[in-house]
Amino acid sequence: MRIYLLSLGAGLLVGVVYSLLGVRSPAPPIVALVGLLGILIGEQAVPMVRQMLRGAPVTVGWFVEHRLPHLCGELPKGTDARADRREPGGRSAG
């Protein structure tokens, strides 16, 4: 139940901001996409600040390892086309 109330509160806050900016709801697609990008970037700011407060450096490597998977989701895995053409036993089908 708590997550629903928090979501409602966040929605109300966005509605107030939209009203102050004079943006109609639902927002035009580009405004909505920029807002979603801001949400994603804002989610990354909290862990980065926590990392810095611990005295640990925030390097590109740290960002790629810890934050990029969350930001982009699971990236698609490539398949080996040669492996798909092999018959059981390791011989080539062609």
The strand pairing partners of 92, in sequence order, are: 86
Check whether 73 has a pLDDT greater than 70: no
3-class secondary structure per residue, 25-75? CCCCHHHHHHHHHHHHHHHHHHHHHHHHHCCCCCCHHHHHHHHHHHHHCCC
pLDDT at 40: 80
Q: How far apart are the C-alpha atoms of 39 and 32, rounded to whole Å?
A: 11
Section 54-63 average pLDDT: 82
What separation, in Å, do the N-terminal and C-terminal C-alpha atoms of the chain show? Answer: 58
Q: What is the mean predicted confidence (pLDDT) over 47-76? A: 77
Q: Answer whether residue 49 shows pLDDT above 80.
A: yes
Give the count of beta carbons closer than 10 Å to the beta carbon of residue 74.
Answer: 7
What pTM value is reported for the model? 0.50
pLDDT at 57 over 60: yes
